[in-house]
Structure 1
Amino acid sequence: MLMAYAMFEGARAMMAPARLAADITRYSLNIPGNPMAYSPYARSVAAGCEMFERATRRYGKPAFGLDATVVDGRRVPVTERVVWERPFCRVIGFDRGFLQPPAAPQPKLLIVAPMSGHYATLLRGTVEAMLPDHAVFITDWTDARMVPLLAGRFDLDTYIDYLQDMFRALGPDLHVMAVCQPAVPVAAAVALMEARNDPAVPVSMTLMGGPVDTRRSPTAVNCLAQERGQAWFERNTISLVPPVFPGALRRVYPGFLQLYGFMAMNLDRHVTAHSDMFDHLVTGDGDSAEKHRDFYDEYLAVMDLTAEYYLQTVETVFVDHALPRGLMRHRGEPVDLAAIRRCAILAVEGENDDISGVGQTKAALDLTPNLPDARKAYHLQEKVGHYGVFNGSRFRAVIAPRIAAFVREMAAQPAARIPHLRSVG
């Protein structure tokens, strides 16, 4: 399996001439001055060429493309700024234009994007929905194939170290939102800081569709990890980055393998979507074709994960259930959620989530007995799946306002005002 990545890149390189020929053919058949461009045959050939080119291209990292938002009823420009950076991640801040007169201060919100194959831009809609009422930051994880070996390892322990550094850099009045996979490392980072009485502990954390305890309502993804175990994933998913990338010879879980896994979960839907795309191109339905392009330009853009991070996460979260069982350790230090006594928690779940089943995120509320009930909240969103927990119409209409209200309430009662309880353990 170690050479699978090199073989994949070799096959992609061999397809380059055919991909270029298909693109040239498509372009020539779509020129308005070409008399053949309007024939059904030409449209079918052009559509086939575009489908071939899209199926064989490499999709680059998308842009957030958030140029403006509305604050206090006024439209203001938005610009991106890097506020924190390490080899495997940077934090992007979304600066909103100055208001005259100045708007009232708004809570700082760090969105921790999932490091599970797709880029942080998958949360574009999440950022957009939170921008009007928050000073928003987001973790922009780096594609592992672009990080040289000299930068060192990146595992789950490093991930937690990064989070604590971010909290200190952006705090102390910080609110955190963990979308899916980061729920476990975010909760662990907060627990470790709470145990040390760190003044930079976030005021609140919102955990959204995260696998805190995958023993509850286990999904097909959870069952696969439990049945196969870490050793199987190491044998069948880990490969070496080819020499053509800066991270040459780094052991990774390649993005293309992750993508195949994503698509296999809903293969019929993807086949139908591409068949419909071909029909849209042939019939000249440009709007529908553009929607398909926008979705798959994002969906097919994937990044590599370091092998050590991926395998440690599989073992810790999905096989051993170390956090809910009280067995998780960070660089030898025990991680005990009972240490959390100041950072408020909102758990958000989707009724039809097939990745993190109902109850898996809510488990965080049960594992924090020393956190006052007034600083705990739960929201189960009906009729949404995993993606709908953090994006889409119901997220914008129901979930985002619920999160904003929770953040405002907790900001009015900052953690510093909550009496310190006796240390746990």
Structure 2
Amino acid sequence: MHYYAYEFAHAVLSPMRLGVHGIRNLLDMPFNPIAQTPFGRNLAAACEVFENVTRRYGKPEFGLKSTRVNGVDVPVREHIVAATPFCSLLHFERDTSKIGPRYDPKVLVVAPMSGHYATLLRGTVKAMLPDHDTYITDWNDARDIPLAMGRFDLDDFIDHVIEFIRVIGPDTHVIAVCQPAVPVLAAVAHMADTDDPHQPASMTLMGGPIDTRRNPTGVNRLAEARSLNWFEHNVISTVPPPHAGFMRPVYPGFLQLTGFMTMNLERHMNAHVDLFNNLVKGDCDPVKQHQDFYEEYLAVMDLTAEFYLQTVKTVFQDHALPKGEMMHRGTRVDCSAIRDTALMTVEGEKDDICGLGQTQAAHDLCTNIPDDQKVHYVQEGVGHYGVFNGTRWRTEIQPRIREFIRTIEYSRGSVPTDRMARRTQTVEMAVSPV
């Protein structure tokens, strides 16, 4: 019933939004005598804040039309190279014809399926583009997938990762951001166990819940405090009409968003108060920054119920992966089978979703990866979002990942000898081995 109540509330507010929008248009007219009065500015600001808070946010675009390679602006074309009803594999293809052949590593960024669209990682992709041939998983909103397309659970997520790595080909470097850390590690372990010729060259796990028994956060404690039956009866709803996924059981994105916002409710309330004050003052830069952030943050998608419930049970309640009990299609996931894929883990010092040590636990599981190909890095002063976006990501975290990937490329002989010689002096590991 949550979903139907949500849709009803949205419908009830629609006439109010329409009226508020009309008032804003009147106040924006250049010859309106009250537009520039204190009353007019306050009323216009109040109308805009109301619209921002109550409107439905659609899926944003990546909008990455170009990047700089060796100081030269090159066009970027976004296109789908593989697709299923539940996900598309996007390739950000760079036109480097003006600067000659490139031997940049192939990178697959596995976006989280946790309520937000893959565009939340726009900053992640943007920072990778200059030096990498970049792909990303673009998960589809479950409410837009007809029930006839079947189920999608954690096993299906793992299968998608494996198939997309095979599509991209050998020597792929996989980056898992947050939630996908567990299925990506399981996928690589399965590929190693079956001696798959397309095993990735490296995997980078960022802020992921590998072992939530370590330094548990409020999110972890909530997942353990409630039974799976409680989650099924309290947070799972069926998609209402007229959406294409009508009658599909889902974990609604708006519930996930509500949970995230209540964790930092005061900060979000203050942000909207600041928005109102900046609109009244006509201070455009902070207004744009606020709108850009919330255009992405408030755009949410639904998850299939089976994926959500299986993830809660496997990752947060049973701790199946660190216990060596996780199964994939009837086969135990054995991380010790991984020998030929290098491992890097990244954590944020102030992460309140994945506590310190939870991602680093992957090193204890991957016992047969050589020590000189295992790296762990903790970024000081950042929370969960800062691990993959923002200034620290661009200036401190991403450069370390870049050099880690380059080092693995050179050790595997994946780069032509002449180029390797030119970069020998510049490629240094910016982080310490585990």
TM-score category, normalised to shorter length: over 0.9
Name which of 109, 112, 115 aligns with 1:111.
Answer: 109
Instruction: State the match for 2:333 in structure 1.
Output: 335
Percent sequence identity over matched residues? 58
Q: Secondary structure at the match of 2:291?
A: helix
**Gapped regions of structure 2 (runs ≥ 5):** 415-434
Q: Secondary structure at the match of 2:182?
A: helix
| Structure 2 CA distance for aligned equivalents of residues 46 and 393 of structure 1 | 33
Kindly tell me the number of residue pairs found equivalent between the two proteins.
414
Instruction: State the match for 1:140 in structure 2.
Output: 138
Give the superposition deviation at 1:415: 9.7
Deviation readout 1:366-405 (Å, 9 max, x if unpaired)? 1111111121111111111111111111111111010001
Give runs of aligned pairs for residues 295-310 of structure 1, distance below 5 A: 295-310=293-308
Deviation readout 1:14-54 (Å, 9 max, x if unpaired)? 21111111011111101112111111111111111111112
Q: Secondary structure at the match of 2:316?
A: helix
Give the superposition deviation at 1:410: 0.9
| Structure 2 CA distance for aligned equivalents of residues 111 and 165 of structure 1 | 14
| Structure 2 CA distance for aligned equivalents of residues 292 and 401 of structure 1 | 27
| Structure 1 CA distance for aligned equivalents of residues 116 and 197 of structure 2 | 33
Deviation readout 1:279-329 (Å, 9 max, x if unpaired)? 111121122212111111111000000000000000000000000000000
| Structure 2 CA distance for aligned equivalents of residues 295 and 332 of structure 1 | 42
Name which of 289, 296, 319 aligns with 1:321.
Answer: 319
Q: Secondary structure at the match of 2:156?
A: helix
| Structure 2 CA distance for aligned equivalents of residues 166 and 223 of structure 1 | 33
Instruction: State the match for 1:49 in structure 2.
Output: 47
Give the superposition deviation at 1:122: 0.7
Instruction: State the match for 1:419 in structure 2.
Output: none
Instruction: State the match for 2:147 in structure 1.
Output: 149
Instruction: State the match for 1:262 in structure 2.
Output: 260
Instruction: State the match for 2:387 in structure 1.
Output: 389
Matched, 1:294 2:285: no
Q: Secondary structure at the match of 2:323?
A: coil
Give the superposition deviation at 1:104: 2.5
* Stretch moving more, 102-111 or 197-206: 102-111
Matched, 1:210 2:208: yes
Deviation readout 1:192-223 (Å, 9 max, x if unpaired)? 01000000110100000100001111111111
| Structure 2 CA distance for aligned equivalents of residues 397 and 48 of structure 1 | 37
Give runs of aligned pairs for residues 3-402 of structure 1, distance below 5 A: 3-402=1-400
**Gapped regions of structure 1 (runs ≥ 5):** 417-425
Whether contact under 8 Å (1:163, 1:189) holds in the other structure is yes
Question: Which portions of structure 1, spanning 4 or more consecutive aligned residues, are displaced by more than 6 angstroms?
Answer: none
| Structure 2 CA distance for aligned equivalents of residues 226 and 281 of structure 1 | 43
| Superposition TM-score, scaled by structure 1 size | 0.96
| Structure 2 CA distance for aligned equivalents of residues 350 and 291 of structure 1 | 23
Whether contact under 8 Å (2:96, 2:102) holds in the other structure is no
RMSD (CA atoms): 1.2
Q: Which one-letter code corresponds to 1:200 in the other structure? A: H
Q: Secondary structure at the match of 1:262?
A: helix
Whether contact under 8 Å (1:342, 1:415) holds in the other structure is no
Q: Secondary structure at the match of 1:92?
A: strand
Give the superposition deviation at 1:11: 1.7
| Structure 2 CA distance for aligned equivalents of residues 42 and 101 of structure 1 | 54
Whether contact under 8 Å (1:180, 1:210) holds in the other structure is yes
Name which of 401, 411, 414 aligns with 2:412.
Answer: 414
Give the superposition deviation at 1:166: 0.5
Give the superposition deviation at 1:101: 4.1
| Structure 2 CA distance for aligned equivalents of residues 100 and 22 of structure 1 | 50
Whether contact under 8 Å (2:190, 2:333) holds in the other structure is yes
* Stretch moving more, 144-153 or 44-53: 44-53
Q: Secondary structure at the match of 2:88?
A: strand
| Structure 2 CA distance for aligned equivalents of residues 338 and 186 of structure 1 | 14
